[in-house]
Amino acid sequence: MHVICPRCKQAVTSSAVNMQKLAAHCEPCNVVFGFSEQLGAESAPTAEPARPAPRAIAALPEAITVERVTAESHDDGPYRGSSGQHTERLIIRRRWFLPTHIVLMLFSFLWCGFLVVWYMKAGSHGHTPWYIYAFPVAHIAVGVSLMYSSLAGFLNTTEIVVTTDALSIGHAPLPWRGNKRLAVATIRQIYCSKHEASGRQGATTTTFRVHALLTNGKKARLLSGLPELDQALYIEAQIEDHLGIVNEPVAGEVST
């Protein structure tokens, strides 16, 4: 250790230090001083760097269920690893149904019913021009889309499966866009964002999304259209907790 003179701030030579009495003599200043405080400061344990506080996972949202399945892995099975090794996979399921799907279903029935009446009247006049049949084609496409969306809202569930190797997302039973599979090794962080869409008459619809920030700096959207922030944050926290990812801020994320 180095003993420093409190007057001139220079290091004292070892020959002028008395370790038994914890005293030293500074020859340039011709002063004798005790250095017990310096010894205590130098021998004090180094403070450990602050660690991020463990993330608190909120209460389970109503539309979400969580399941953890422990299974024995096999070389040729769905869990990679040595035979006899036990792995745990996280399964998060989110039901799509909302009261608005009832309104959407009724509206789609009215829309499609109007088109049925249109074609019935057109066919009852005998020689009906072709453009009368062709005119509602775009409306038919809209009606089918509305009907399919409302049925998906009643029936579909999103399933998120997280293992030690991969994170996969699927929507069933009706096919829907957004199925995805990511290697866990490429995921750096999970975060949420807010999305606002302007509708007719200036109305704004707010939904939330869950993204993955990848190790290459790119972003992958995992889920969209979540009606509540609590659902997005809960899914984020569950995935990060299962994969052992320390929660860190990401540009553009929304928290509470």
What's the pLDDT tens digit per position in 88-113? 899 999 999 999 999 999 999 999 89
Tokens 């991969």 belong to: 166
pLDDT of residue 169: 97
List the strands of the sheet with 31-34, edge to edge: 17-18, 23-26, 31-34
What's at 30, amino acid-wise?
N
> Of the ranges 6-15, 27-36, 129-138, 201-210, which one carries the lowest mean pLDDT score?
27-36
Q: Minimum mean pLDDT among 24-28, 46-50, 249-253: which range?
A: 46-50
Strand partners, 70: 88
pLDDT of residue 83: 45
For residue 78, what are the contacts with CB-CB under 8 A and spacing of at least 6? 163
Helix (H) or strand (E) holding 18: strand 17-18
Q: How confident is the model at residue 239 (pLDDT cuts 50, 70, 90)?
A: very high
| Average pLDDT estimate for 161-166 | 94
Helix (H) or strand (E) segment spanning residue 213: strand 204-214
Contact between 180 and 222 (Cβ < 8 Å)? yes
Residue 186: Cβ-neighbour burial (10 angstroms; 0-12, 13-18, 19+):
middle
Cα–Cα distance for residue pair 171/152, rounded to 1 Å: 9
Over residues 12-24, mean pLDDT = 74
Would you say 165 and 157 are in contact if contact means Cβ atoms under 8 Å apart?
Answer: no
Residue 57 reports pLDDT greater than 70: no
Question: 117-121, 137-141, 226-230: which has the minimum mean pLDDT?
Answer: 117-121
Q: Report the alpha-carbon distance of residue 16 to residue 35 in Å, rounded.
A: 12
- pLDDT confidence of 56, banded at 50, 70, 90? low
Q: What length does the chain have?
A: 256
pLDDT at 231 over 90: yes
Number of H helices, E strands in the chain: 5, 11
Return the minimum-mean-pLDDT range out of 89-98, 187-196, 231-240, 245-254.
245-254
Confidence class for position 1, pLDDT limits 50, 70, 90: low
* 2-11 contact pairs (CB < 8 A, 24+): 3/35, 3/38, 4/35, 4/38, 5/29, 5/31, 5/33, 6/33, 7/31, 7/33
How confident is the model at residue 86, as a pLDDT? 57
DSSP 3-state assignment of 43?
Answer: helix
Three-class SS state of 145: helix
* In the predicted structure, residue 233 carries a pLDDT above the cut 90: yes
Average pLDDT, stretch 60-77? 76
Average pLDDT over residues 33-59: 58
Digit-coded pLDDT (tens) for 198-216: 866 667 889 999 999 999 9
Residue 77 confidence (pLDDT): 44
Structure tokens at 29: 């200043």
Residue 163: is its pLDDT beyond 70? yes
Alpha carbon 185 to its chain centroid, in Å, reads: 15
Residue 30: is its pLDDT beyond 80?
Answer: no
Is the per-residue pLDDT at 137 higher than 60? Answer: yes
Mean pLDDT over all residues of the chain? 82
Residue indicated by tokens 């038919």? 140
Separation CA 161–CA 183 (nearest Å): 12
Residue 79: pLDDT over 70: no
Return the pLDDT at 20.
67
